[in-house]
Structure 1
Amino acid sequence: MTTVAFIPARGGSKGVPGKNVKLIAGKPLLAWSIEQAKGASLIDKIVVSTDCPEIAACARQYGAEVPYMRPADISGDTATTESAMLHYCEWLSARGEKFDNFLLVQATSPIRAAGRFDDAIRFFEAEHFNSLLTVTPSHRFFWKNPSAPEASYDFMKRPRRQDIPESDRRYMETGSFYITRWDDLVSTRNRLCGKVGMYITPEEESYEIDSLVDFNVCESIMSALEGN
C-alpha cells in the first residue's frame, strides 16, 4: 500500500497572520508536521498545497514537495479542505499517478508522538477502514440549546465519569490527521466515508492552533514533552 501525506497550508490566516511559518518551539509551525511525516516509514511522499510563496519555500526547506501553487479559487476563506485534496487528486491523475491512501495532515496540530503516523496507517490497514479520523476521549458533560437546555447525560442520576459505559463515552475529533482510501475520496469527495475508524490519541495531541493563546499553550506542552 502506498500513502501520500498531504498538508494544506494556505496563506492569509486572519486569526494569526503568517501562522504556518510562525516559529513555535524553535521551528516554523509547518515544519513540525513535515518532519513528523518524514520520520514515518509508511509514507511515500509528502506534499504541501499552498498559495503562498513564503510557505512554499518553507515547505521545500524542510523536505516536502510543492508541485504547484494552489489556484486562487480554492485558496480563499470559504474554500474547503476537500477542494484542495481533490485538486491534488485530479492533478496527479492527469499525470497517470495515484496512491492507495490519502493522509491529510493538518499543520495546525503540531503535537504528535513519534511513530504516530505509522501506527495509524497500520491500524487503518489492519481494520480495513475506508477512512479514519483522530479522536481523544472527552470526560466532560455537554449541554446544548440554551433556550431549552438539553444535557448529554441524565443529570438526575449524575454518573461518575469512570462508571460511564464504553458505548456511551464521548470522543472529540481532534483534526490532527485523517486517512482516506484514494478511490473513496475521489468518488465521495469527502475525507470521511464508508467504514470509518476512530484512532484514539492522548489529550495533548488534541490541541489545534487558531490563536496566539493556542500558540502559547502548544509551545508549553511541547517544551514539557521535550523535557520528559
Structure 2
Amino acid sequence: MASICIIPARGGSKRIPRKNVKDFLGKPIIAYTIEAAIGSGLFAEVMVSTDDVEIAEIAKKYGAKVPFVRSTENSNDYATTFDVIEEVLQEYQKTGSAFEFTCCIYACAPFVTSNKLIEAFQIMKQNQYDSVFPVMPYSFPIQRALKQQNNKLSFFNPEYSLTRSQDLEKSYHDAGQFYWMENKVIIENKQILTDNSGCVVISELEGQDIDNEMDWKLAELKYELLQSTK
C-alpha cells in the first residue's frame, strides 16, 4: 500500500507570528518541507493540514495538496500531532483512500532532506519498526543535570555526581522534524513512540528548535553553514 506525507501547519502560531509561512532565506519555511517530501518520491500524496487560507495557498503553490480544512477542534493550542494525523487519515478514508505508512513532517523543519526521509523509511521497513524519527544527542550528560530549589543547586541524580562524562550512557532527544509510522499499529496504540520504535541520529548542526526569533536566526545560520559544506 501507499504512503502519505502529512504536514501540520495551523495558522495560530503565538511565539513567532505566521511562523509556518515566514520567510526563511528567501522562501516560506514550509516550502522546504514540501520540496523535501516531493523530492523523495516516497509519497502517493503530500498534503498540508491547515485551518489557514494563506498557508493553504502557499502550500499548493509549492506542490502540496490541501484537500480539506482542518477542524476547529484540532486547530487549537491543545491539539497534538497524533490528533492531526488521525483526523487526516479518517478524512482520506471517507473518500476511499487508505495508506499503509504515514510520514508527518513539521512545517518548520528546513533541515529535513529527501535523502533523510528515504533513509528513515528504509530503517523502518528493514527493521519492521512501528515508527522512526530523527533524534539528536544531548550536548551534556542528562544524568548530571542540576535543579534549583530555594536558590540552591543540587543534582537530580546525585549518584552520578562524580562519574566521568565519558562513562555515562549517551542520551538523545526528539529532533522535532518528522515521524515515519506504520499506520495500523500507531492508530491502534494512539501514540507515535512505541516499544518498537527506531531512530535516525542527526548532528546538532542538522537541527534546531525554532520557538523564538533567536532560534530562527540560529536555524538560518546553521542552514547556510550546511549548504556551504556540500
Q: Does the alignment reach a TM-score above 0.5?
A: yes
Residue 194 of structure 1: how far off its partner (Å): 4.5
Find out whether 1:172 has 2:178 as its counterpart.
Answer: no
Residues 49-58 or 148-157, more deviating: 148-157
Paired position in structure 1 for 2:28: 28
Tell me, in whole angstroms, the C-alpha distance in 2 between the residues paired with 1:101 and 1:144. 40
Find out whether 1:188 has 2:189 as its counterpart.
Answer: yes
Give matches, 1:81-160, under 5 Å: 81-142=81-142, 143-147=145-149, 149-151=155-157, 154-159=160-165
Residue 55 of structure 1: how far off its partner (Å): 0.3
For the 8 Å contact 1:25–1:222, the answer to whether it is kept is no
Describe the shift of the 1:144–1:67 C-alpha distance in structure 2 as closer, same or farther (beyond 3 A): farther
For the 8 Å contact 1:141–1:151, the answer to whether it is kept is no
Residues 177-186 or 140-149, more deviating: 140-149
Describe the shift of the 1:123–1:85 C-alpha distance in structure 2 as closer, same or farther (beyond 3 A): same
Find out whether 1:73 has 2:79 as its counterpart.
Answer: no
Describe the shift of the 1:152–1:34 C-alpha distance in structure 2 as closer, same or farther (beyond 3 A): farther
Identical columns (%): 29
TM-score by length of 2: 0.90
For the 8 Å contact 2:121–2:132, the answer to whether it is kept is no
Describe the shift of the 1:114–1:187 C-alpha distance in structure 2 as closer, same or farther (beyond 3 A): closer
Tell me, in whole angstroms, the C-alpha distance in 2 between the residues paired with 1:41 and 1:144. 45
Residue 41 of structure 1: how far off its partner (Å): 2.3
Paired position in structure 2 for 1:50: 50
* AA matched with 2:140: R
For structure 2, the 5+ residue unaligned runs are none
Describe the shift of the 1:172–1:153 C-alpha distance in structure 2 as closer, same or farther (beyond 3 A): farther
Find out whether 1:14 has 2:14 as its counterpart.
Answer: yes
Tell me, in whole angstroms, the C-alpha distance in 1 between the residues paired with 2:37 and 2:162. 47
Tell me, in whole angstroms, the C-alpha distance in 1 between the residues paired with 2:60 and 2:211. 24
Tell me, in whole angstroms, the C-alpha distance in 1 between the residues paired with 2:163 and 2:65. 55
* AA matched with 1:69: V
Tell me, in whole angstroms, the C-alpha distance in 1 between the residues paired with 2:164 and 2:193. 33
Describe the shift of the 1:176–1:152 C-alpha distance in structure 2 as closer, same or farther (beyond 3 A): farther
* AA matched with 1:5: C
Residue 205 of structure 1: how far off its partner (Å): 2.3
Tell me, in whole angstroms, the C-alpha distance in 2 between the residues paired with 1:172 and 1:87. 26
* AA matched with 1:150: F
TM-score by length of 1: 0.91
**Count of equivalent residues:** 223
For structure 1, the 5+ residue unaligned runs are none
Residue 21 of structure 1: how far off its partner (Å): 0.7
